[in-house]
Structure 1
């Protein structure tokens, strides 16, 4: 049940804005992170529920101890060691209206991430807690059949989380981001379940550092099998590619500084006859370039009103 996507105030990028200074700018995008928390969504990402109000809660625990350069080498030792841990409880409020626009059901959402971050780069250590960057979205939901569903959405991420350019850990990114997306879900109570959410991030300039991260193309995915009793078992993760170069002061960063990553892990979902559901998954990163490398555990629950 999806209107847009969870913002990456819970992503590793939100806590690494100073890390690139210790790594000679080896990390893609500013600090090697993104506004979007890659891999947060899995099953039901493109299935908009009926009109109503839907509170959704995400929980996450991310841990990384490696920093990959453009060749995939771990450069953490070169900076005296690296560790980043993020714990997040992220409420999301979805309002599906009774109105239709262009044949789709009109919906809106807001996300308020609550974060606890802990980062060490060399001898520099810092922990922070607080409200991260807020996210707002407008979406249109369609139901092609009883099995096939899809959502078009446009999201805006606002730089509301606390940020300092001199801190190793931050709960905000300090720049605006806009993101169009398409999410598709194929759902069967007994049989194949498949989801794909495709996104393109357009990042604006960080006014404190004059750094502008490149555009990012990425997709969350999940494939599983419904057992006919409310349970779906499968696998999921994400694909990530940075598709344009970073800029500092209007000048291209040497080598473009582009990142990439792939993640995969087990996913399980349970949906009750009353409409509430719980999804849990663990995903590990692979083929990482110019970014932190680790793993994340996610849970997602919704209780319809």
Structure 2
């Protein structure tokens, strides 16, 4: 069962605590995709559910831990993907949508803030998949809408980012006859301004990756993600120095296919963190083909 360009999961992110940090949550849940990330499945309807837990501490622009600032979050995000019978440029065409639910607790020296609510919806109006004997490719466009819980006066009580993001995607999978797989998904986030604060977080490159071995119904591998903000943030049109965030994550992952279902488990440990929360993320993903 293949995986897809995914979704919003505001829980796994950094909430901005200073003027020199990306504002709001990561609208894409970095690390959500892995096994067969570049292989669109056959025509049909698919239900995917991403659930997990994240715990981390805040890091500044020097990569030093910010004392007393941490986050803990549980999340669940159902997604529907439909692949049509239509072809475009030789590719199968599909579309998708996802809406996450998050329980998030931010701890600061001033106290704790607990919030439960919905995150920013992800809509994928364009999802194209090409297939060759040992190589697969996906091109897509994700649109993240500001549907999430948001509090202008208290960022720690915000799950959504309160701005639109447009994200082109390219994903690739190589799987040979011996069962060795290499997959990656490349994304570039084009962010708009938050009208409530006149703050625009800088555009960002990020990627998920997986190296794995398939043995029968099982697959085992190493995966994770890399995030690099490539532009400085802006406040009222003025760029903020040293505001770019980054993180690299890695960890084991396993998948089991049974009939029309897939079960995926992952652990990702974050390192090289700047201007973000950094910690550990546990995932459980379920895929059902109708």
Tell me the TM-score normalised to structure 1 length. 0.90
2:224 to 234, 237, 247: 237
SS in 2 for 1:30: coil
Match of 2:249 in 1: 263
Q: How does 1:269-280 map to 2 (within 5 A)?
A: 269-272=255-258, 274-280=259-265
8 Å CA contact 2:20–2:233 kept in 1: the answer is no
Q: Hey, what's the Cα distance between the residues in 2 that align with 1:93 and 1:188?
A: 29
Cα distance in 1 for partners of 2:89, 2:199 equals 38
Is structure 2 residue 102 aligned with structure 1 residue 101? no
CA shift, 1:99, in A, is: 0.4
Aligned mate of 1:72, from 63, 68, 83: 63
Note if 1:43 corresponds to 2:35. yes
Match of 2:23 among 24, 30, 45: 30
Q: Which moved more, 1:163-172 or 1:2-11?
A: 2-11
Report the Cα offset of residue 49 of structure 1: 0.8
Instruction: Report the Cα offset of residue 34 of structure 1.
Output: 2.2
Which structure has the highest strand share of the two?
A: 2
Preserved contact between residue 163 and residue 193 of structure 2 (Cα < 8 Å): yes
1:164 maps to 151
Deviation at residue 83 of structure 1 after TM alignment: 2.0
Consecutive unaligned residues of structure 2, counting only runs of 5 or more, are none
1:142 partnered with 2:142: no
Q: Output the CA distance in 2 between the equivalents of 1:8 and 1:57.
A: 11
Alignment length (residue pairs): 287
Structure 2 CA distance for partners of 1:235 and 1:47, relative to 1, 3 Å: same
Q: Give the C-alpha shift of residue 142 in structure 1.
A: 0.6
Contact 1:3 1:153 (8 Å CA) reproduced: no
- Among residues 46, 55, 76, which one is paired with 1:63 in the alignment? 55
Q: Using a 3 Å threshold, how does the CA distance of structure 1 residues 213 and 26 change in structure 2: closer, same or farther?
A: closer
List 4+ stretches of structure 1 deviating above 6 A. none
